[in-house]
C-alpha cells in the first residue's frame, strides 16, 4: 500500500513547493464598502472572540482554473458586506478596558487588491501546492499598520494567472470569525457573485452577547488547556531550537480505515479522533523523549460548541463558537500504551465540552486573560467539514484550498475530490521533519484490507 503522500522533507521541501514570482499590481488596493447603508454601532466581542491567541488573521488561499472579473468580485463583495457589515468595520480598544477589543461597525470597508503573476499557471501552482513557502505571501497584499487593530478585518487579493485562472486569498480577522463563520461568509460571497439576487441560505447572526460571562463568574472546572507547566517543558526546547520546515502528508480514506482497524479495533471512533491520535503520537515520538519520561503532553483541538450550549447558538452565528478541548497525559503513557488509550483521551476531552464547561471557560477568561498552554501541546485545527471546498464564484469549484503559510500548529485540510481524505500540514524543526514523517507511516504498511488496499493503490506518493 502506498504510504501517505508526503510533500516535504528536510531535503526536498523547498524544491517541491512552487515559488511565486513577483506580482504586478496595476493599481493600489481599494476599499470596498457595503453597497447600501448598514447599521453603525459598536459590536461587543465575546471572551471567546477576544482571546489573545486569536489576535491574528486566518489566511485562506483558493486556486481556480478560470478567473472571475474583478469588477464582478468587487460588486458581489459590496453586496455581501451589507449582510456581513461588521467585516467592513474596524477593531478598537474597548471603552474603559484597553486590554479588550470591540468592533466599530463604521462601514469603512474591506481591502481588495488585484495582481498579476506572469508565468504562473494553475497547473504549475497545483503541482507544487502541497506545502506553502515564504514566496506565497506575495499572494496577499501587506497592510502597513502600526498595530493589529489597524488592519481591516477583511483583506482580499485576487491574483490573475497567465493561463486564465486565478488565486484568491482572503485574510479574515480571527476575532470576528472562526472557521465555520469564515466558510459561511465565503460561501455567501460566492453565491452572490453567481446570482446577485439570491437570498442567503443562512442569515448571519451578529450579536455576541449570548456568550457574555455570568455575574458573578463561576469557574466550575479545571481548565488544563490554560495551565502551563512551572518549568519550561521539553517539547518547547525542541520546537523552538531551530528553523521550522513545513511538512505535509495526505491520508486517504484507506489509510484512515487501516488506522481504525489496527490502532483502535475495539473502539467506535471518528476519522478525526484516530488520525489526531496518530499524529499526536508521531509528533511526540519525533521529539524522542526518554522511555521513562513523565513529561506532560497535551493535545489541544478545536471543538465546536454551537450545539453544546443551552440555548444553542443561533443558526448563522459566525463568531468564535469553538473552544479548545484538551487531552492530557505523559509522554511515557502515551507511547507505552496502544493508540486506543489516546483515542479514549480525545473522546473524553470532547465529552467534557458541555454547556457548563464552556460557560466556565468564558468566566475564566473574564477573570484573567488566560492563554493556552502551547509550550507542551500539539494544537490541531481541522479545516475539514467546514465546506471551504464548496466555494464557487461561478467558474467552477477550487482546485486547491489551504492556508497561505504553514505554522507550528497542525491543520487538517480537505482534499479536493475526496471527502474522506485529510491533508495534514504543520511546521516541524528542520532536524525532526524526516523523523516525524517516518513515524506518521507507522501502522500503514500492506495487509489484507481488500477494498481498502485497492482504493489506496489509486493514490500516488
DSSP E strand stretches across 176-316: 244-251, 296-304
Q: Are residues 89 and 148 in the same domain?
A: yes
- 223 within a domain of the structure (yes/no): no
For residues 415 and 251, give the distance between their C-alpha atoms in angstroms, rounded to a whole number. 9
Q: Are residues 184 and 318 in the same domain?
A: no
Q: Are residues 184 and 135 in the same domain?
A: yes
Residue 144 falls in the annotated catalytic set: no
Total structural domains within the chain = 2
Identify the active-site residue in 83, 174, 223, 278: 174
pTM: 0.92
Question: Cis bond leading into 451, ω under 30°?
Answer: no
Q: Show the domain range for 391.
A: 228-456
Give the relative orientation of helices 433-440 and 271-287 as an angle to the nearest 10 degrees. 140
Q: What is the pLDDT along the chain (461 residues), one digit of tens a residue?
A: 455 654 433 333 334 678 999 999 999 999 999 999 999 999 999 999 999 999 999 999 999 999 999 999 999 999 999 999 999 999 999 988 778 999 999 999 999 999 999 999 999 999 999 899 999 999 999 998 888 899 999 999 999 999 999 999 999 999 999 999 999 999 999 999 999 999 999 999 999 999 999 999 999 999 999 987 665 565 666 666 688 999 999 999 999 999 999 887 888 999 999 999 999 999 999 988 877 778 889 999 999 999 999 999 999 999 999 999 999 999 999 999 999 999 999 999 999 999 999 999 999 999 988 889 888 899 999 999 999 999 999 999 999 999 999 998 999 999 998 989 999 999 999 999 999 999 999 988 755 544 444 433 333 23
- 101 within a domain of the structure (yes/no): yes
- 222 within a domain of the structure (yes/no): no
The set of cell numbers assigned to 382 is: 481541522
Q: Are residues 162 and 239 in the same domain?
A: no
Identify the active-site residue in 304, 333, 390, 392: 392
Q: Are residues 65 and 205 in the same domain?
A: yes
CATH number for the domain spanning 85: value is: 3.30.559.10
Q: Are residues 445 and 359 in the same domain?
A: yes
Q: Are residues 349 and 246 in the same domain?
A: yes
For residues 22 and 294, give the distance between their C-alpha atoms in angstroms, rounded to a whole number. 49
- 217 within a domain of the structure (yes/no): no
Residue 174 falls in the annotated catalytic set: yes
Of 154, 181, 209, which residue sits at a domain end?
A: 209
Q: Are residues 306 and 424 in the same domain?
A: yes
Amino acid at each position: 500500500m502506498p504510504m501517505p503522500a508526503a510533500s516535504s522533507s528536510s531535503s526536498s521541501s523547498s524544491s517541491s513547493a512552487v515559488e511565486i514570482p513577483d506580482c504586478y499590481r496595476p493599481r493600489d488596493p481599494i476599499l470596498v464598502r457595503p453597497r447600501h447603508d448598514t447599521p453603525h454601532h459598536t459590536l461587543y466581542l465575546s471572551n471567546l472572540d477576544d482571546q489573545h491567541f486569536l489576535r491574528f488573521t486566518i489566511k485562506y488561499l483558493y486556486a481556480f482554473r478560470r478567473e472571475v472579473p474583478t469588477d464582478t468580485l468587487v460588486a458581489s463583495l459590496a453586496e455581501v458586506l451589507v449582510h456581513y457589515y461588521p467585516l467592513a468595520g474596524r477593531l478598537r480598544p474597548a471603552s474603559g478596558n484597553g486590554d479588550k477589543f470591540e468592533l466599530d461597525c463604521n462601514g469603512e470597508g474591506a481591502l481588495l487588491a488585484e495582481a498579476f503573476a506572469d508565468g504562473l499557471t494553475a497547473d504549475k501552482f497545483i503541482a507544487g501546492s502541497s506545502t506553502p513557502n515564504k514566496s506565497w505571501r506575495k499572494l496577499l497584499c501587506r497592510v502597513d499598520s502600526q498595530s493589529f487593530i489597524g488592519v481591516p478585518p477583511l483583506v482580499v487579493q485576487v491574483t490573475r494567472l497567465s493561463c486564465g485562472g486565478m488565486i484568491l486569498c482572503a485574510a479574515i480577522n480571527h476575532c470576528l470569525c472562526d472557521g465555520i463563520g469564515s466558510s459561511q461568509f465565503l460561501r455567501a460571497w460566492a453565491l452572490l457573485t453567481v446570482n446577485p439576487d439570491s437570498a442567503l441560505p443562512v442569515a448571519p447572526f451578529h450579536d455576541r452577547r449570548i456568550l457574555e460571562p455570568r455575574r458573578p463568574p463561576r469557574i466550575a472546572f479545571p481548565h488544563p488547556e490554560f495551565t502551563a507547566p512551572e518549568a519550561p517543558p521539553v517539547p518547547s526546547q525542541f520546537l523552538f531550537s531551530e528553523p521550522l520546515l513545513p511538512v505535509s502528508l495526505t491520508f486517504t480514506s484507506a489509510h484512515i480505515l487501516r488506522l481504525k482497524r489496527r490502532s483502535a479495533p475495539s473502539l467506535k471512533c471518528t476519522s478525526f479522533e484516530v488520525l489526531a491520535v496518530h499524529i499526536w503520537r508521531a509528533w511526540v515520538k519525533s521529539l524522542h523523549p526518554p522511555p521513562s519520561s513523565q513529561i506532560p503532553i497535551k493535545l489541544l483541538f478545536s471543538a465546536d460548541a454551537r450545539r453544546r450550549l443551552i440555548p444553542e447558538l443561533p443558526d448563522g452565528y459566525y463568531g468564535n463558537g469553538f473552544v479548545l478541548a484538551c487531552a492530557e497525559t505523559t509522554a511515557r503513557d502515551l507511547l507505552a500504551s496502544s493508540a486506543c488509550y489516546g483515542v479514549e483521551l480525545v473522546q473524553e476531552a470532547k465529552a467534557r465540552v458541555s454547556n457548563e464547561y464552556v460557560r466556565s471557560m468564558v468566566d475564566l477568561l473574564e477573570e484573567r486573560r488566560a492563554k493556552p498552554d502551547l509550550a507542551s501541546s500539539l494544537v490541531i485545527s481541522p479545516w475539514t467539514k467546514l465546506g471551504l471546498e464548496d466555494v464557487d464564484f461561478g467558474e467552477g469549484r477550487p482546485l486547491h484550498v489551504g492556508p497561505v503559510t504553514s505554522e507550528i500548529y497542525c491543520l487538517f485540510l480537505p482534499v479536493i475530490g475526496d471527502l474522506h481524505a485529510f491533508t495534514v500540514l504543520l511546521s516541524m524543526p528542520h532536524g525532526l521533519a524526516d523523523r516525524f514523517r517516518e513515524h506518521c507511516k507507522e501502522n500503514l504498511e500492506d495487509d489484507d484490507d481488500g477494498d481498502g488496499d485497492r482504493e489506496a493503490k489509486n493514490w500516488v506518493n
